[in-house]
Structures are given as C-alpha cells and as structure tokens.
Chains A and B, each alone.
Chain A
C-alpha cells in the first residue's frame, strides 16, 4: 500500500502543482529609503495555469499596498520565478500574509476547475533599529 501511494506521488505529483516559498519570509531593508523587501519563490508545475497574482494581506486578509516588478507573474509550466515584494516600512507590522493566487482563463473545459492560493506568513518584523532606520 505504501509503495502504491509512493507510485501515485511520483506519477501524479508533477502535473498540476503550485508552490510558494518560503513559508515564513522576513523583511529586509531595500535600496530605497523607507521601503523594505522580501524575496519569494514561485514554482509552477500546473500545466493549466501560466499566470499568478501576488497579494499582500493583513491579519484580516485585507489588502495592504505593495509593489512588485509584475503584479501578475508569468510563470509557465515548470518554471521557477523569484518575486521581490516591496512594502513601506510603516506597514511592516500590518502585513501578515504574502500570497500567490493562480489565475484561470475564462474559457476552458466544462467541469469545475481549481483555483489555488498559497499564503506565507510574516512572523518576524524588522528589528526596532532597522524599522526606525526605514522610517
């Protein structure tokens, strides 16, 4: 039974997956004063999805202002993308989740499709010295 499960893992595991790491990102000072940044990694093995959206959210899942080079990320099948997320140092304590959401095309097959969202959690704010330096 264990080998059957392992075989299933190997056979089906690389077709329609979406991975967003690290689980617990940390902010660091960016090259712009008052702005902090973190680097996320997106790995797309979903054949049915090419585009992902980044979301930066507070504890109530409400959006917080942020910037990335591309808000909609083009990550074709089996591509890994590094995504730099920038927020104001003032918002460091507000941001709790950094998420990636798969974007599905309107046209497609006739059945129910799956939209996937993975959210990393920011547990460690900047140190007080860094925070004050950012402000």
Chain B
C-alpha cells in the first residue's frame, strides 16, 4: 500500500513540475512584413557661391540632402526621387529661375545594390529606382538654381522641397 502511495505521490510531484515547465514556455511571435521606410538622413543646405547661384554642392558651400530608403523585402517597391523645380519659400522673384539637379546612390547596405545607378530611369526632374534588393540605400540629391542672366538673388530665405516616394509594385 505504501508503495502505491509513494508511486502516486511521485506521479503528482512529476506532474506538478511538468506543468510548471509547460507554464514557463512563453512564445515570442514575430511577423516580417514587406514595408518601405523613407528617412531623411541629412537635410540639405543651399550654398551661395555666386550672387546668381544657389547650390547644394559641397564645393559651393552647400550640403546635399541624403534620403534613406529601407525595404524589408526585395522587389516590392520602387523609389522615385525628384529634385526641386521651384522654391517653396523665397523672397519675391521677378526673373526666371533655371533649375538643375541629379540623384545618385550615396551608400548601400548590400553590394548587390551597386547596379542601382546603372539601372535607374530618369525623366523630367525625377529619378526612378527599382528596389530589387532588401536592405538600405542612401540617395544623394543635387540641386542648383540659377537666377536670370547672372542676376543676383535678392536677400532672404530660400527653401525648396525634394520629393521622395516609395511606390509598391
């Protein structure tokens, strides 16, 4: 009888411990979803190398804006980046402004992204990249504005907007 009681007691103890062990299994559930994140790494600044020129080129005293795209899955998105063609804020301008610019890959997190600049499509002021590799790409945007025919920009604050778009495909 004692042996039966002992077996029963042992079974209960093992059961309790087993239950405790089960209770300690805490699952961690994660879900990787496709997504695109656009980040402004560096806000651009216009330099004013000559009275008629505003430029983000470092040689002209400016700072090129850097936009970073993070994509979690390859081939889900394309990036469209447009350099500005007008000021969003400026003093009153009486003459025309000629805009030029360019977009290029600045840094990549994966060497397979090295073909992005080769395969990019440019139209108007927009550059289109197929984000065919998962990871992070940094794009540098050049912007330059020339006022009239060597006319001096009036004094004041100038601001222009770069557009960065991530379109699902």
A contacts, CB < 8 Å to B: 5, 9, 12-13, 15-24, 45-46, 48, 97, 104, 106-121
Does any Cβ of A come within 8 Å of B136's Cβ?
yes
Q: Interface-forming stretch among B2-10, B20-28, B43-51?
A: B43-51
Among residues of A, the one whose C-beta sits closest to the C-beta of B77 is A23
Say yes or no: A19 contacts B160, CB within 8 Å. no
B140 to chain A, nearest CB (A): 12
Q: Which residue of B lies closest to A61 (CB)?
A: B167
Q: Which residue of A lies closest to B142 (CB)?
A: A112
Q: Knowing A110-B157, A111-B45, A114-B43, say if A19 contacts B164 (CB, 8 Å).
A: no
Beta-carbon contacts under 8 Å, B28-45 to A: 33-41, 43-45
14 CB < 8 A contacts A-B: A13-B70, A20-B35, A22-B33, A22-B34, A23-B33, A23-B168, A24-B34, A24-B168, A109-B45, A110-B157, A115-B162, A116-B166, A118-B165, A120-B168
Are B162's CB and A114's CB within 8 A?
A: yes
The docked-state distance in angstroms from the alpha carbon of A12 to that of B41 is 7
Chain A residue numbers with a CB within 8 Å of B62 are: 111
Chain B residues near A21 (CB-CB < 8 A): 33, 35
Q: Check B33 against A114 for contact (C-beta < 8 Å).
A: no
A111-B44 in contact given A17-B38, A18-B38, A19-B37 (Cβ < 8 Å) = yes
Min C-beta distance of A123 to chain B, whole Å: 9
The reply to whether B136 and A106 form a contact with Cβ atoms under 8 Å apart is: no
A-chain residues with CB within 8 Å of residue B84 when the two chains form the complex:
112
Is A112 in contact with B165, judged by CB distance below 8 angstroms? no
Q: Which residue of B lies closest to A121 (CB)?
A: B168
With A21-B33, A114-B65 already in contact, the answer to whether A119 and B166 are too (CB < 8 A) is: yes
- Within B134-168, the residues touching A (CB, 8 Å) are 136, 141, 143, 157-168
